[in-house]
């Protein structure tokens, strides 16, 4: 059965290991499956929920596309485009915001996390962006959406909005109810300095993350300095309890090497962290360094990246414009 898959990445610039292992690596696998029809969106409208430098934003859009392609996504097989060029996204978001309920949005935990203590100063866009996310997904009749634990709530909201719209206007199955593609264990990559915090470009310390553009020496040095503890490597899952930093590093290694947690624990049981870190560093260099070189090469070819975005826009807009036209007819425009 053909799966129509939609997912997006914000063009924040300086993408890191958390972005790659948490999303992009999975995108590549989905892209390579012949039974999948994938749309990968650079969600620049979502990015402006916080203040952006316009020139940096334009560069970051290209960098995100370069990262997709360098990682192995084929822009001829999958659609790659930036959200703001397809006006149906903004239009559908407004219409769906008139369907969604404020009570639903007020329960979104990510808004509370991103807005921080002073919610009164957060933008309306930050509050309502889950509705835009729903519009992104529903415009393409997506059947499946890759989600991590922190995004399940947003997909549930998307399904609620779709169902209410269908019921309100008496159009059964007009909006498809997308199913989650649950990410694998350890898909949420944490800081190298604090295993309780998600890896983030906003962290003041560059040693908290592996950037996808890091050199070999930078990768090795960051892993050497990554926080662990004084105990030896664990031998079973129970020994990972309350060892967040250790669990994070082992999780990174299992994903990079396509190994099971049990195998990794068995291979390194009781050994010193220095030996494990050497193996982790090599795995990272083998996987990330070629991507880093390819990103840098592609960024020097702006016309090539812009052509990918132009082609993606044409293909995405053809689909979305038909859907928004039908939405107009249903609503009464």
d(CA 270, CA 252): 19
- 146 close to 137: Cβ distance less than 8 angstroms: no
Task: Give the SS3 label for residue 179.
Answer: strand
Cα angle value 85/91/94 (rounded, 5°): 135
Distance of alpha carbon 16 from alpha carbon 200, whole angstroms: 8
Q: Are 110 and 63 in contact (CB under 8 A)?
A: no
- CA 5 – CA 141 distance, rounded (Å): 9
Distance CA 62, CA 301 (A): 10
Residue 116's φ and ψ, nearest 5 degrees, are 75, -155
- Cα–Cα distance between 40 and 80 in angstroms, integer? 5
- Ramachandran category for residue 224: left, alpha or beta (phi over 0 → left; psi -120 to 50 → alpha): alpha
Q: Using CB atoms within 10 A of its CB, is residue 110 exposed (0-12), middle (13-18) or buried (19+)?
A: middle
Residue 244 · residue 47 · CB < 8 Å:
no
Q: Which residue has the tokens 């008496």?
A: 170
Catalytic residue set:
114, 198, 201
**Is residue 278 helix, strand or coil?**
helix
Residues 6+ apart with CB under 8 A from 69: 75, 80, 294, 298, 305, 308
Q: How many CA atoms lie within 13 A of 7 on its CB side?
A: 30
Question: Are 198 and 189 contacting, i.e. CB atoms less than 8 angstroms apart?
Answer: yes
């Amino acid at each position: 059965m053909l799966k129509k898959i939609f997912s997006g990445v914000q063009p924040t610039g300086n993408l890191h290991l958390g972005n790659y292992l948490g999303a992009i690596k999975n995108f590549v696998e989905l892209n390579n499956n012949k039974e999948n029809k994938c749309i990968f969106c650079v969600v620049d409208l979502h990015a402006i929920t916080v203040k952006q430098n316009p020139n940096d934003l334009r560069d970051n859009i290209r960098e995100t596309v370069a990262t997709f392609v360098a990682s192995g996504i084929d822009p001829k097989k999958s659609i790659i485009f930036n959200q703001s060029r397809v006006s149906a996204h903004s239009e559908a978001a407004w219409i769906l915001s008139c369907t969604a309920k404020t009570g639903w949005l007020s329960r979104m935990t990510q808004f509370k996390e991103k807005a921080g203590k002073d919610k009164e100063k957060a933008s309306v866009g930050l509050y309502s962006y889950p509705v835009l996310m729903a519009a992104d997904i529903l415009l393409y009749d997506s059947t499946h959406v890759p989600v991590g634990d922190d995004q399940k709530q947003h997909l549930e909201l998307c399904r609620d909005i779709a169902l209410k719209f269908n019921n309100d206007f008496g159009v059964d199955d007009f909006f498809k109810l997308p199913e989650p593609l649950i990410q694998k264990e350890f898909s949420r990559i944490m800081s190298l300095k604090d295993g309780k915090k998600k890896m983030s470009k906003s962290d003041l310390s560059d040693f908290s993350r592996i950037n996808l553009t890091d050199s070999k020496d930078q990768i090795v040095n960051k892993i050497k300095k990554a926080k662990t503890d004084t105990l030896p490597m664990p031998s079973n899952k129970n020994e990972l309890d309350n060892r967040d930093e250790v669990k994070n590093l082992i999780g990174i290694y299992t994903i990079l090497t396509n190994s099971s947690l049990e195998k990794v624990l068995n291979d390194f049981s009781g050994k010193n962290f220095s030996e494990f870190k050497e193996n982790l560093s090599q795995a990272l260099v083998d996987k990330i360094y070629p991507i880093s070189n390819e990103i840098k090469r592609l960024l020097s070819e702006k016309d090539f990246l812009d052509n990918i975005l132009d082609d993606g826009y044409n293909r995405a807009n053809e689909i979305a414009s038909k859907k928004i036209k039908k939405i107009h007819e249903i609503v009464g425009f």
